[in-house]
């Protein structure tokens, strides 16, 4: 069974640019969540999608957005990149709410903003 | 608000030593609790979970018991190996999202 696939693995962008990250969940999983991991702030929740609808949102500025497609694949977009957006972005999927099953994480996309 | 607090690292142990990583939480209601492990350059792997009070999660020799009275979910292993060297995260699930502790780095020396 294929795991959660995130592309690309590494990305270097310049301040002010925008970036799109992709996540393919485990087959049959309808929930996709995104997290930002930095040395200073640790792991922080960005948002969660379920059946193409945003179900939860964390405390990030509007520059961070996402969407989910009918095949459950998800994309995350960050516009007007800032140096502080440099982080490991992790995607996680779950069959339902994740409360009982937990979440399966991908290997992440390492974004560096210069 | 909901939060998770873990003991600070790094924790350095000799092979075959006993491991305890403390985790306490603050939450309304009855969250599920998880331990995740992160190896260098990788994402998070679910190590074990517990969904209600007094549940014991276990996997690969690791154990943790959901203690509602002390709001704790401490991770234990009787005999660690060099391959257990990683960062361990305690987390609670509530409202469709995970709230993580700051992580505890474990280094096991041969």
What confidence tens digit (pLDDT) does each residue in B63-110 have?
999 999 999 999 999 999 999 999 999 999 987 899 999 999 999 999
Reduced DSSP (H G I as helix, E B as strand, rest coil) percent helix, strand, coil of chain B, to 5: 5, 55, 40
Distance from CA of A14 to the nearest CA of B (A): 23
Mutate to test the interface with B, among A6, A10, A41, A43 (most CBs of B within 10 A): A43
Average pLDDT over residues B48-68: 96
Is it the case that residue A70 has pLDDT exceeding 70?
yes
Distance from CA of B67 to the nearest CA of A (A): 17
Which of A114, A100, A96, A105 minimizes the C-alpha distance to A37? Answer: A105
> Which pLDDT value is given to residue B95?
78
- Across chain A, what does the average pLDDT equal? 94
Query: Which residues does chain A have within 8 Å of residue B95's beta carbon, measured at their own beta carbons?
Result: 56
pLDDT in tens, B20-42: 999 999 998 889 999 999 998 88
Average pLDDT over residues A52-67: 95
Q: In chain A, where do the E strands start and end?
A: 5-7, 10-13, 19-24, 31-38, 42-50, 53-57, 64-68, 74-78, 87-94, 104-105, 109-113
Query: Looking at the partner chain, which of B51, B94, B98 has a beta carbon nearest the beta carbon of A103?
Result: B98
pLDDT band of A96, cuts 50, 70, 90: confident
Pairing of strands A109-113, A64-68: unpaired
Please name the residue of chain A whose CA is at the shortest distance from the CA of residue B3: A44
Helix (H) or strand (E) holding A9: none
Which span out of A87-91, B1-5, B6-10 was modeled with the highest average pLDDT? A87-91
**Does A30 contact chain B (CB < 8 Å)?**
no
**Does A12 contact chain B (CB < 8 Å)?**
no
Which of A100, A101, A109 minimizes the C-alpha distance to A46? Answer: A109
Specify which residues B105 forms β-bridges with.
Answer: B87
> Which pLDDT value is given to residue A2?
78
Is it the case that residue A101 has pLDDT exceeding 90?
no
Average pLDDT over residues B46-62: 96
> Which pLDDT value is given to residue B29?
84
Is it the case that residue A110 has pLDDT exceeding 70?
yes
Q: B96 and A58 in contact by Cβ < 8 A?
A: no
Please enumerate in sequence order all residues whose Cβ is within 8 A of that of B88, keeping only pairs 6 or more positions apart, or say none.
B6, B21, B35, B36, B37, B38, B47, B75, B103, B104, B105, B106
**Does B43 contact chain A (CB < 8 Å)?**
yes
**Does A100 contact chain B (CB < 8 Å)?**
yes
pLDDT band of A1, cuts 50, 70, 90: low
> Which pLDDT value is given to residue B28?
87
């Amino acid at each position: 069974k294929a795991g959660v696939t995130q592309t690309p693995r590494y990305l270097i962008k310049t301040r002010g640019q925008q970036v799109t990250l992709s996540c393919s969940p485990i087959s049959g999983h309808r929930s996709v969540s995104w997290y930002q991991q930095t040395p200073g702030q640790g792991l922080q929740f960005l948002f969660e999608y379920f059946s193409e609808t945003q179900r939860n949102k964390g405390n990030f500025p509007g520059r961070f957005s996402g969407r989910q497609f009918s095949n459950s694949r998800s994309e995350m977009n960050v516009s007007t990149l800032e140096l502080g957006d440099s982080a490991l972005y992790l995607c996680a999927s779950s069959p339902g709410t994740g409360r009982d099953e937990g979440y399966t994480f991908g290997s992440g996309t390492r974004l560096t903003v210069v | 608000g909901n939060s998770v607090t873990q003991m600070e690292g790094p924790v350095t142990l000799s092979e075959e030593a006993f491991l305890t990583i403390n985790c306490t939480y603050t939450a309304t209601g009855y969250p599920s609790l998880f331990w995740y492990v992160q190896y260098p350059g990788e994402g998070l792997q679910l190590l074990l979970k517990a969904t209600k009070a007094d549940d014991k999660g276990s996997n690969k020799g690791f154990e943790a018991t959901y203690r509602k009275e002390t709001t704790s979910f401490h991770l234990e292993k009787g005999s660690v190996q060099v391959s257990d060297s990683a960062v361990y995260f305690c987390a609670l699930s509530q409202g469709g999202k995970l709230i993580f502790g700051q992580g505890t780095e474990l280094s096991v020396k041969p």
